Amino acid sequence: MVATVVQETPTLFSPYKMGKFDLSHRVVLAPLTRCRALNEIPMEAHALYYSQRATPGGLLISEGTSISNTSAGYPNVPGIYTEQQVEAWKKVVDAVHAKGSVFFCQLWHVGRASHHVFQPNGGSPISSTNKPISDRWQVNLPDGSLAKHSNPRALETFEIPQVVEHYRQSALNAIRAGFDGVEIHAAHGYLIDQFLKDGINDRVDEYGGSIANRCKFLLQVVEAVVAAVGADRVSVRISPAIDHLDAVDSNPLGLGFAVVERLNKLQQSLGSKLAYLHVTQPRFTASGKRDLGNEEEEIKFLKNLRKAYEGTFMASGGYTRELGLKAVAEDEADLVSYGRLFISNPDLVSRLKHNAPLNKYNRQTFYTSDPVVGYTDYPFLNQGNNDKRE
């Protein structure tokens, strides 16, 4: 007699084996910059904020975390490049682990999306290019005002290995702080995306021109980080079709395929998979606009990359409960990361699971420095609902 195994369609709340990590559900905390780390050091408030959002077997991704003293482009962004920062992160990671979650650290360099006030000695931010970000975008300064981004300085070819080294060292630091893995931020118009996109990268050296050359910096970073901490602890985030901070490409799908193809090849040569590939939906822009492309095109774009990538695929951007359930049920993604809804709903996993009402988020406190207001004071379901939308 042959036993029939009934394969149930997975839902957002089904377990998932992400390499060596056994996740109990697929609702992931997206990386979210919250500007609460005074002097670039995570604080007690961070431990509370992340542990509020932790669930047994859940996956949390930290806010973008600076890999060097030239990386920041927002006030009070935590770093992972000094001993003091590593020590401070340990307490945050411990609080998350105590709740049973897996915790990845997002490694971030903003490149030209900075301002000279954030740079050592007021220098120019580094990038793939000397071209500044257009006036369409503004940078938040430490005094609360908004300004135009400073003119960047294109990295000399010989300087690039040093930046790769900062990613490598930061990954090691993150693991030392207790993080389970790292996410390399190659999305949303920041440094690595400034190399990937042909609308920004105007280099004439081996890091510019052809798509292979534009992918080179990302690949060198991934290879260095993988060699340092192991493939199964490394993930990559990309957003080929997102124009945030002028990060446009003439062929977003071609660029997405090029990255995926190289990651697949790397995985084959290592005989080991990365933890996941995280792709942000084209419809997201930081300003909250949803008018890029249409729903059908967006889903097709994501599905194409999902089909091409040989590993765990995480989708992000504008997911509601229904869209998340649909994405997993229809195999558009293995995991779905939630950003804004997780800001205002510390118990988002439980609320989604029980189809409970959601707190509305207050955009005004996304990037303020108060360690409580708009950070750790959003109520849990049993504390009643909060109605503080913008």
Residues contributing to the site for ligand FMN (CB under 6 A):
30-33, 63-64, 106, 185, 187-188, 237, 280, 284, 316-319, 338-341, 366
Least separation in angstroms between residue 106's CB and ligand FMN is 6
Least separation in angstroms between residue 206's CB and ligand FMN is 27
Least separation in angstroms between residue 6's CB and ligand FMN is 33
CB-nearer residue toward ligand FMN: 208 or 361? 361
Distance in angstroms (rounded) separating the CA atoms of residues 228 and 67? 15
Least separation in angstroms between residue 273's CB and ligand FMN is 21
Q: Report the residue closest to ligand FMN, judged by CB.
A: 339
Among residues 149, 54, 40, 37, the alpha carbon closest in space to that of 97 is found at 54
Among residues 305, 347, 286, the alpha carbon closest in space to that of 27 is found at 347
Which sign, positive or negative, has the C-alpha torsion 172, 175, 181, 184? Answer: negative
Count how many Cα atoms sit within 13 Å of the Cα of residue 6 in the half-sphere of its side chain. 1
CB-nearer residue toward ligand FMN: 160 or 341? 341
Distance in angstroms (rounded) separating the CA atoms of residues 78 and 64? 8
Least separation in angstroms between residue 351's CB and ligand FMN is 14
Cβ atoms of 243 and 187 closer than 8 Å: no
Q: Would you call 276 a catalytic residue per the annotation?
A: no
Which sign, positive or negative, has the C-alpha torsion 34, 40, 43, 47? Answer: positive
**Both tokens of residue 358?**
């959601």
Distance in angstroms (rounded) separating the CA atoms of residues 200 and 333? 29
DSSP letter (8 states) at residue 19: T
CB-nearer residue toward ligand FMN: 256 or 317? 317
- Segments in the chain forming alpha helices (H): 44-52, 83-98, 160-176, 191-196, 211-229, 252-270, 295-308, 321-329, 340-344, 348-353
Distance in angstroms (rounded) separating the CA atoms of residues 349 and 345? 9
Least separation in angstroms between residue 234's CB and ligand FMN is 15
From 81, 167, 190, 378, the catalytic residue:
190
Phi and psi torsions of 72, nearest 5°: -80, 150
Q: What number of other Cβ atoms are within 10 A of residue 219's Cβ?
A: 16
Phi and psi torsions of 261, nearest 5°: -60, -40
Residues designated catalytic: 190
